[in-house]
Amino acid sequence: MAVTPAFIDELRNRLTLSDLVGQRVKLVPKGGRLAGLCPFHNEKTASFYVNDTEGFYHCFGCGANGDMISWLREIDGLEFIEAVHQLCEMAGLPLPENDRASDFAAQQRKATVDVCEAAARFFVSQLHTKKGAVALHYIRQRGLSDDVIVNFRLGYAPRSGLFAHLQQREFSTELIKSAGLVGVSDRDGSVYDYFRDRLIFPIEDPRGQVIGFGARALGEVKPKYLNSPESPSFVKKSVLYGWSRARKAARRGLPVIVVEGYMDVIAVSSSGVAAAVAPLGTALGEDQFRLLWKLSNDPVLCFDGDKAGQIAAQRAIERVLPLLEPGRSVRLAVLPEGQDPDDILRQKGPDWLRRILSSATGLLDSLWASKAADYHLDNPRTQAGAKAAFWQDMRGLVRSITHHQTRSAWADDLERRITAMRGVTRAGGSNRPGQMTAVPLMRRPKTGRHVQIKAVLVLLIRTPALFSDYAEALAMLDFNDEGLEALKNALIDRLMNAPDLDAAALRHHLTTDGHAELLSQLFGTDMSARLGRLLGAMDTGEVNVARVRVVLDEMIERLARNHRRGL
């Protein structure tokens, strides 16, 4: 972006922030500044201040702050260049020459929005005709009032008529096609309406302008739901249905929830229970999570209680983890199996849905429960190896968090859970080898301890028959070394999937997994000499399993004892 700080300063010199903000907020003089009710959250006493001298606004209630560009981006959901373009028009300044390409793209988006708005008006007009009777009957049968129908601009797409209607209004065929409103026959090149005999849900951008459509079939036509193809104004992964309305509801203090379908959004929004949005038939992506966080720091994701819903919830968690930052998370609410929010509202009422939302669980709680179910950890006969794999899986997911402080906080919480789980396991189980009284997470290995940790790894590679006895202890060791950690994880994965591997086959697999150089170092002269003194025959491969077990027990106990002492 070639918009320079000097150009931004020129915009600020030509415009007054209070004039811009005053179009949306009633401002009154207070203490040398202007104050008003914050538009970004629900409040009764003014805590929102505008300072024209400094050129910024600040809310002491919710922390919203910024300059005139920030104001337009937050209040209208504009991109940076769109906000600059709007301010240029207000100030009578042309865009910098280098931004003509961006200006052209903005003009394309505007033209696409214009034709989509015209199409939306056409669909609305058709809903109340004889052709639209079936669609109107369907939505009234779903309990939607006339006010809701008008508010969400619901419409009907007849089998034909839209293309001719838009041509009469002098929209070009090329523009109509680029907006995804018509298709072209492969057979004869004829143009046909893209949406035919369907209930129409206009999809709006953050400013409330129509940029695309969702459509539901009224008969046994496949697919049941159809969205607009992507266009200059419509990119599915960057859009949430109902977002512009949800923003207004969120500012009134309602919780923000993500549901699955258009009717769910309409039903929840109309009930006043929550501010609702939905992805467009796809899994939530990065852009959509960031849109959610503009509405709430911890929106609630609603999922069905069946197996498919559980899988969808787990995938959503894994996608959001890399994006987490302080003050940005999500919670999960599980719906009764086979019911969506629309069903719950119609059959059981708003209070029932409120209770479900109030019981939403935090992200780590949800992830822990979901993964524990995958590993069948509620089964008392579950092998220690399954627990070890579960912990490794959880640690790997936590490592995907890119924000350092957030990742550290999650890691600490996770290790407390793992330690507590180990305590419960030992209290009710036998004192098997490898399950010492305390084998907590071992971090920041110092030189001597690091050698011992390597020795444990080497011994288990040489005697894979002992893996199931020591899987928990191995999983609890944090090598604080990327290469060793990767080798450990590969070892666990291999022996979990093929517990009967012998030492030679295991080492071969680990070598093909990309650990040849590290294995060569671990099994080099120095380590062989150290272990040879303990075991007597490491160089010849004649390993005394009983002696290995004794050495492993001693090493793990020593590592645990030193960790307790902070060594």
Give the whole-angstrom CA distance, residue 274 versus residue 299: 10
Give the whole-angstrom CA distance, residue 83 versus residue 316: 31
Residues 277, 246 contacting (CB under 8 angstroms): yes
Rg (CA), the chain: 31
Q: What residue ranges do the domains of the chain occupy?
A: 5-95, 104-234, 243-371, 375-567
Tracing tokens 């018509």 back to the chain, one arrives at 182
What pLDDT sits at residue 49? 94
Residue 544 has pLDDT above 90, yes or no: no
The encoded tokens of residue 163 equal 């293309």
Q: What is the pLDDT of residues 4-36, one digit of tens each?
A: 787 888 888 888 899 999 999 999 988 778 999
Q: What angle do CA 105, 109, 112 make, to 5 degrees?
A: 140
Class of the CATH domain delimited by 5-95: alpha beta
pLDDT band at 211 (very low <50, low <70, confident <90, very high): very high
The encoded tokens of residue 247 equal 């923003």
Q: What is the pLDDT of residues 222-249, one digit of tens each?
A: 899 999 999 988 999 999 999 999 988 9
What pLDDT sits at residue 448? 67
Residue 505 has pLDDT above 50, yes or no: yes
What pLDDT sits at residue 532? 66
What pLDDT sits at residue 489? 83
Among 223-237, 384-398, 542-556, the least confident range: 542-556
Give the whole-angstrom CA distance, residue 277 versus residue 266: 9
Give the whole-angstrom CA distance, residue 32 versus residue 50: 10
What pLDDT sits at residue 500? 82
Q: E strand or H helix at 35, and its extent?
A: strand 33-36
What pLDDT sits at residue 432? 42
What average pLDDT does the chain have? 84
Q: E strand or H helix at 512, and its extent?
A: none
pLDDT over 70 for what percent of the chain?
Answer: 87
- Architecture per CATH, domain 104-234, reads as Alpha-Beta Complex (3.90)
State mean pLDDT over 392-413: 91
What pLDDT sits at residue 295? 87
Residues 33, 49 contacting (CB under 8 angstroms): yes
Residues 560, 552 contacting (CB under 8 angstroms): no
pLDDT band at 299 (very low <50, low <70, confident <90, very high): very high
Query: If DSSP states are collapsed to H, E and C, what string results for 276-300?
Result: EEECCCCCCCHHHHHHHHHHCCCCE
Tell the burial category of 117 from Cβ atoms under 10 Å away from its Cβ (0-12, 13-18, 19+). Answer: middle
Between 489 and 1, residue with greater pLDDT: 489
State mean pLDDT over 48-75: 89
pLDDT band at 539 (very low <50, low <70, confident <90, very high): very low
Q: Do domains 5-95 and 243-371 have the same CATH topology?
A: no
Between 338 and 562, residue with greater pLDDT: 338
What pLDDT sits at residue 422? 74
Q: Which residues contact 204 (CB under 8 A, 6 or more apart)?
A: 210, 211, 243, 244
Q: Which range among 22-36, 57-71, 267-281 has the greatest average pLDDT?
A: 267-281
Give the whole-angstrom CA distance, residue 101 versus residue 520: 56
Q: Rounded to a whole number, what is the largest CA-CA distance in the chain? A: 93
Q: Which range among 87-91, 225-229, 441-445, 473-477 has the greatest average pLDDT?
A: 225-229
Q: Where are the alpha helices (DSSP H) in 252-378?
A: 262-271, 286-295, 307-320, 341-347, 350-358, 363-374
Q: Which residues contact 73 (CB under 8 A, 6 or more apart)?
A: 66, 79, 80, 83
The encoded tokens of residue 495 equal 């022996």
What pLDDT sits at residue 427? 46
State mean pLDDT over 463-485: 78
Amino acid found at 287 = D
Among 325-334, 423-432, 463-472, the least confident range: 423-432
DSSP annotation of 62: T
Q: Given 3.50.20.10, 3.40.50.300, 3.40.50.720, 3.40.1360.10, which CATH number is that of 243-371?
A: 3.40.1360.10
Q: What is the pLDDT of residues 96-128, one digit of tens each?
A: 765 556 667 778 888 999 999 999 999 999 999
Among 302-306, 403-407, 462-466, the least confident range: 302-306
Give the whole-angstrom CA distance, residue 167 versus residue 518: 69
Q: What is the pLDDT of residues 126-141, one digit of tens each?
A: 999 999 999 999 999 9
For residue 234, list its beta bridge partners.
231
Q: Would you call 234 helix, strand, or coil by DSSP?
A: strand
